[in-house]
Amino acid sequence: MILAPLWRLAWRNVWRNGRRTAITVSSIGAGLAALLFGQSLVTTIQTQLVDKATGVYVGHLQVVGKGVDDYKFPDKWIDDPDSVERAIRDLPGVAAFERRIIATGLASSKTESAGILVVGVEPEREKEVMTMHSYLSKGEFLGDEPDGIYLGRKLAAQLEIGVGDEIVIMSSAVDGSLGAELLRVVGIFDSGSHTFDASIAYVRIEAAQRLLAVDDQVNDFVMKLENHDEIGTLKRALTAALNRPELEVVTWEEVDPELVGIRDYQDALLSIILFVIFAIVALGILNTLLMAMFERVREFGVLMAVGARPSTIRALILAESAMLGALGAALGCAIAAALILHYRASGLELPIGDAVGFFMPFDSVLYLRFDWGKHAVALTAVFLTSVLSGLPPAIKASKLQPVEALRHV
């Protein structure tokens, strides 16, 4: 049997029982659509989580002192930061970078006090590396004023202060003394994150150095890369360029392992969903083709009697399973594409914003994106599962004996 007639016959056989075919195709399409939509949703969430984490605090790469207990709060001092800066400047692929000082302290107003995390930054570079300036609610971001402080809305409310008010920041200096700085609030930010808005304050790096009684030492260098995919290569290149064993170059994944855990959990969940969909597809097609085979035993006997080979029977049934898979895949892709395009334009509001936003800024309205790589893998896997599901009935039908098949009622 030549190829074109075989496919025409397979197409007629598929629609011989239209209701059963519609149910099978619908189940494949619904499962694939759910998977593709889930991939898009998870990719959008993961992308935003990484963008927010690297954009508000962590960066793509950091240089810290070796032996730091928690990369988020580096407590080792980097001597001769100018040599580190030269190495970073000479590294292609770094879009922007800055020096920082990070320390815990106590903020006191005239009436209240609160524990805070003081982040000393270089204001102009901070705008190029991080995005906290974009959450400005009142006043302005750190500028030329040497004694300015930029803090969160909830921290300002707790201290009962506003723009223009003065507060005292105290922290343990490197020499063991108690450092103190009188600062004026120049701006208040509202990131939507409880952790950031209630506990973090930004000052100029010079003010942080005065507070901690250090000269030009810093706690870390944080970098924004032009291409995130090159992070491993740039880490190795910078480590070699620094050639300072007392320093360590770390990626955002090392700085924020909790975020990596969230990403891995989501990927594992998608894998489970993919397996369930495979099972649904396989069982649906297997059931459809087995029922069709038993209904057509006599038909197969006639085909064999007029010269059809067992390989032709197998090819016919596999063609039918491929058609069912293709129809289901087309339906699933159409449904998923319509949903993703709709929510890419209008946005999908999820209740997870408040939960995630407790720890970092997070937009609860998600604008979905396609993940072509994952979509292609899912589509290929579902189609191959459809075809392979036709193997058992195809093999069973090809082993029928023509005489016995013709007697089948």
Burial of 299 (0-12, 13-18, 19+ CB in 10 A): middle
Same domain, 172 and 26: no
Please identify, among 218, 244, 270, the residue that sits at the C-terminal boundary of a domain. Answer: 244
Same domain, 74 and 35: no
Report the domain count for the chain: 2
Same domain, 122 and 12: no
Cβ-proximal residues to 244 (8 Å cutoff; 6+ apart), any chain: 83, 84
Average pLDDT over residues 234-239: 96
Average pLDDT over residues 277-304: 72
Lowest mean pLDDT among 30-44, 84-98, 136-150, 325-339: 30-44
Cβ proximity of 313 and 394 under 8 Å: yes
For residue range 183-197, list pLDDT tens digits in order. Answer: 999 999 999 888 899
Same domain, 263 and 231: no
**3 pLDDT tier (thresholds 50, 70, 90):** low
Mean pLDDT, the chain, rounded, equals 87
For residue range 239-260, list pLDDT tens digits in order. Answer: 999 999 999 999 999 998 888 8
Residues 284, 187: Cα–Cα separation, whole Å: 61
Does residue 252 lie within any of the structural domains?
no
Comparing 209 with 314, which gets the higher pLDDT?
209
Cβ-proximal residues to 23 (8 Å cutoff; 6+ apart), any chain: 284
Does residue 165 lie within any of the structural domains?
yes
Same domain, 213 and 282: no
Between helix 257-295 and helix 18-53 the angle, nearest 10°, is 170
For residue range 118-177, list pLDDT tens digits in order. Answer: 999 999 999 999 999 999 999 999 988 899 999 999 999 999 999 999 999 999 999 889
CA distances from 185 to 106, 166, 213 (A): 15, 6, 22
Same domain, 280 and 203: no
For residue range 370-408, list pLDDT tens digits in order. Answer: 999 999 998 998 888 888 887 877 787 777 666 565 665
pTM of the shown model: 0.78
Residues 331, 288: Cα–Cα separation, whole Å: 18
For residue range 38-48, list pLDDT tens digits in order. Answer: 889 888 988 88
pLDDT above 60: residue 1: no
pLDDT above 80: residue 102: yes
Same domain, 190 and 317: no
Q: Percent of the chain, pLDDT > 90?
A: 50
Q: What residues make up the domain containing 186?
A: 67-244
Cβ proximity of 123 and 141 under 8 Å: yes
Helix (H) or strand (E) holding 46: helix 18-53
Same domain, 117 and 229: yes
pLDDT at 192: 85
Please identify, among 244, 267, 294, the residue that sits at the C-terminal boundary of a domain. Answer: 244
**409 pLDDT tier (thresholds 50, 70, 90):** very low
